[in-house]
Structure formats: structure tokens, C-alpha cells
Structure 1
């Protein structure tokens, strides 16, 4: 395993550990300032990964899939990081501080359609950030033939993003989900007796 892959794994672990420590400081220990400092450090983990990738390429390392994966990781972390932090914060607040029920995505109608388009748009933003980082990596590599490996990584998310587009935002636009009908009390009783 390359040093860069180990660093990507460490960044993911570091993300969740730092986030957990920040939330524990906020809700369990009531250390608001410490919590703020820890939560501000969460995006700095991506900066460390970015700097390590740049240093590795500048030292003349052969561009490999670890460099491409690092760019994709950072891109999608930029796009979805805030949502992941909010998701964890809501659940931590609910569990340890009596906070409100965590937000749940809409399940039907145009609200669900808008949600699916927004989520897919964030994925496209992540892809765009990764593509820019890969392009910058290409410029850092002295040999254009070696740099093409990095540019090839810009196309890797195309198929998953196309599938996501077809089966979520496009599908919801064409065939919006309808609310599930609540069963009448007699139907619920029959379901219980049939078990």
C-alpha cells in the first residue's frame, strides 16, 4: 500500500475522530470553545491530504491511482462535508443533549425531487473540484505522459454520476414519488393477526 493510500485512510479516520471529539466536547463536556476549535480542524484534514499529494508529485513521484483517489476524496469531501457534519451533529445533539429529531430527507412529491437534484448537484460540484485538482496535478508533473494518468481519473466518476442522475433526480422528475397511504386501523389489525 502506498503512503498516499495510507494517508487517505488516515484522513477518513481523522475526519470522524475529530468530528466525534468536537461533538463530544460540545454536548457532553459543554466546552464550546474547544468544540469550535476541533470542528474547525475537520476541513484542515483535507488540506493536509492536499499538501501531501502536492509534495509527493513535486518530488517526482510517479502519478498513480492514489493521487487520483486523493483528488476525488477531497472533491467529494468539499461537496458533502458540511452535510456529513450536520448529520452527525443532529444525531449527537438528539442522543446526548435532548435535541430535536434529526432532519430527514423528503420522501415524496416535488420536495423529494428538489432534494434529489440538489444532492446530485453537490456530487457534480465534488467532481468539478476533483477535476480542477487533477488538472493542477497534471501541471505539477514535468512529464505530460505521466500526467495523463491523473487526467484519466477525472473521468472515473462519470458512470456512477450518470447512473445517479438517471435513477434519482431524472426518475423523480419524471415519476414523482407519492405519499404512502396510512393503513386503516382494521387493516393494521389484520396484518398483525396474519403474522
Structure 2
């Protein structure tokens, strides 16, 4: 049941996002688009509630409960970033807005961008770990929480590996080709833009 709900939440995320951006840029219904996009966090709340209910009703803690915590953590860390990124592309393609900025490709600006992305992964890992820890406490000594604890270990490994990858951009920065002008700072799609 939890796996099916995770899939439904992922599908719901993209459907709400498509409807929200379509309402904003094709139909010019800005308030409707805001309402649709604000429904995105409700999906995670539903997933959290159903996962807690499943554990409370005596379900054996398994990988699917860990996956639910990972999904919620990822969405908290990267959901808004993804929406802004796609909003920038939709504004460009559907409303004649400026093209979204691409991430820096060279030097310290690229290292800073990768560092910011790693911090998002840290936030997602912290949220996932907190949910997994709460689930382990919730199950207590009555159930086998080894799958949840293994997922906590996997979260720490992912955060560590991503941190090492981000660090390589600082230690061994990629040099810009000779004669190229430095580009402006900024993450993908992060130019100033009203979203209401």
C-alpha cells in the first residue's frame, strides 16, 4: 500500500505541476495556478499520515516505509527548486519570458553552485533521517526496525558521496576556455521573477 501511495504522490506531483503551470501560462489564471502549486505539499502530508497509520496498525517496518521517508525528504529539499526551475522554462516557452539561467560551468561559481545543491541534499537527508528515527522510536522494541536503520545508513552514505562530489568542484575547478567571458552567478531558473 505504501509503495502504491509513493507512486501516486509522484504522479500527483507532476500532474499538479503541469496543471499549475498550464493554468498560469496558457489560461492566465494566476490565482488558480498558485492554489494548484500550493497543493503539492499536501501530497507529502498524506504520505506521512498513511505511513504512520500503517506502522501504527502493526505493519512490519520495511524498505517501503524507509522509501516513504526518503521521498518526503527529497521533496522537501528539491521540490521547490524543481518547481522554480520548471516555472522558468514554462515562462520562457509559453509566455515569452527570458531564458532561464544555466548553472555556472567553470571555476568557483560552479563550486558554489554544487555546494548549494549539496546543502539541499543535506536538508533532504536530515528530514529523511528525522522521519526514520521517529519511525524507529514509534515501532519501539516490539518490531524489527532493521530496515529503517539500514535506510538511515544509506541516507548518510548518499549525503557523504554527494558532499565528496561537490568538493571535487572546489579542489579541482574546471577552467573556462580561453577567451570566454565569465557569466553571471545564479542557479538554474533563479532570476528574479514573481510567482504569484
Q: Which moved more, 1:109-118 or 1:149-158?
A: 149-158
| Structure ranking higher in helix proportion | 1
CA-to-partner distance for each residue in 1:148-167, whole Å, 9 max, x for gaps?
32122111133333332223
For residue 79 of structure 2, the aligned residue among 81, 86, 103 is 81
Partner of 1:157 in structure 2? 155
If asked which structure has higher relative contact order (CA below 8 Å, sep 6+), I would say 2
CA-to-partner distance for each residue in 1:105-161, whole Å, 9 max, x for gaps?
111111111111111111011011000001111122143551232122111133333
- RMSD of Structure 2 on Structure 1 (CA): 1.5
Q: Contact 1:110–1:176 (CA<8 Å) still a contact in 2?
A: yes
CA–CA distance in structure 1, aligned partners of residues 140 and 160 of structure 2? 33
* TM-score, L = length of structure 2: 0.87
CA–CA distance in structure 2, aligned partners of residues 82 and 15 of structure 1? 11
Partner of 2:194 in structure 1? none
* TM-score, L = length of structure 1: 0.87
For residue 169 of structure 2, the aligned residue among 146, 169, 172 is 172
CA–CA distance in structure 2, aligned partners of residues 147 and 70 of structure 1? 15
Between the two proteins, the alignment pairs up a number of residues equal to 180
CA-to-partner distance for each residue in 1:73-119, whole Å, 9 max, x for gaps?
10111011111000110111111100110121111111111111111
Gaps of 5+ in 1: 184-195
Matches within 5 A, 1:1-195: 3-143=1-141, 145-167=143-165, 169-181=166-178
Q: Which protein is bigger by CA-based radius of gyration?
A: 1
Gaps of 5+ in 2: 181-196
Deviation of 1:53 (Å)? 0.5
Deviation of 1:10 (Å)? 0.9
